[in-house]
Amino acid sequence: MKITYFASAGTADPTRASIPLHLAANGSVEVGQETTIILGGDATDLLIAENAQRLEGVGVPPARELLAKLRDHEIPVFV
C-alpha cells in the first residue's frame, strides 16, 4: 500500500505538526507501507534544524526522533 501524509502545521502547534510524522514513522513504516510526506505551509519550518531539534508535541515522540527514523528508512519528504 502507498500512503502520503500532508503536514501543514509548524512550530506554533508542536503536537499537530508532529502527528503526521508520528503516523508515518511509527505506523506506516513499521507495517511496511510505501510512505511519503509532504510539508506545506507552516510545516516547512521543520526544515530549519533548530526548529526540528526543539519541537516536542504532547503524547508523541520529539520531532527530531521522528525525522531521524524517517531519514533512516529513506522516506521521501517533499516541500
| Cβ atoms of 61 and 22 closer than 8 Å | yes
Domains of the chain, by residue range, sit at 2-78
Q: What is the pLDDT along the chain (79 residues), one digit of tens a residue?
A: 999 999 999 999 999 999 999 999 999 999 999 999 999 999 999 999 999 999 999 999 999 999 999 999 999 999 9
* pTM of the predicted structure, to 2 decimals: 0.92
Q: Which residue has the cell 502507498?
A: 2
